[in-house]
Amino acid sequence: MRKCSLSNLSAVFDKISENLALYIPVDTNGGAKFEKYESGMVMSEALNTVRSAKDFFFPQIEDVAAFKVEGKNIEVVDTRVIKDDFVIFGARACDVKAFEVLDNVFLSDPVDSYYANRREHGIIFALSCSKPVETCFCNAFGIDCTEPKGDVSMWKTESEMYFKANSEKGEKILALVADLLTDGEEKVVESEKAKTKEVLKKLPLSNLSPDKFGGGKTKEYFDDPAWKSLSESCLGCGTCTFVCPTCQCYDVKDFNTGHGVVRFRCWDSCMYSDFTKMAHGNPRLTQLERFRQRFMHKLVYYPENNNGLFMCVGCGRCLAKCPISMNIVKVMKTLGGKN
Residue whose C-alpha is closest to residue 323's, from 262, 257, 241: 241
Q: How far is the CB of 10 from other proteins (least distance, A)?
A: 23
72 contacts other proteins (rule: CB under 8 A): yes
AA identity, residue 267: W
195 contacts other proteins (rule: CB under 8 A): no
Q: How far is the CB of 181 from other proteins (least distance, A)?
A: 29
30 contacts other proteins (rule: CB under 8 A): yes
Of 70 and 183, the one with the shorter C-beta distance to other proteins is 70
- Choices 6-14, 93-101, 174-182, 232-240 (CB under 8 A): range interacting with other proteins: 232-240
Site for other proteins in 110-149 (CB under 8 A): 110-114, 116-117, 131-134
Candidates 87, 174, 177, 243; binder of other proteins (CB under 8 A) is 243
Q: How far is the CB of 288 from other proteins (least distance, A)?
A: 12
Residue whose C-alpha is closest to residue 337's, from 249, 156, 207: 207
d(CA 1, CA 8): 17
Q: Which residues contact 75 (CB under 8 A, 6 or more apart)?
A: 67, 68, 69
Q: Are 128 and 145 in contact (CB under 8 A)?
A: yes
Residue whose C-alpha is closest to residue 318's, from 280, 274, 271, 265: 271
- Choices 93-101, 142-150, 158-166, 202-210 (CB under 8 A): range interacting with other proteins: 202-210
226 contacts other proteins (rule: CB under 8 A): no
51 contacts other proteins (rule: CB under 8 A): yes
277 contacts other proteins (rule: CB under 8 A): yes
198 contacts other proteins (rule: CB under 8 A): no
How many whole angstroms from its chain centre is CA 109? 21
d(CA 92, CA 111): 26
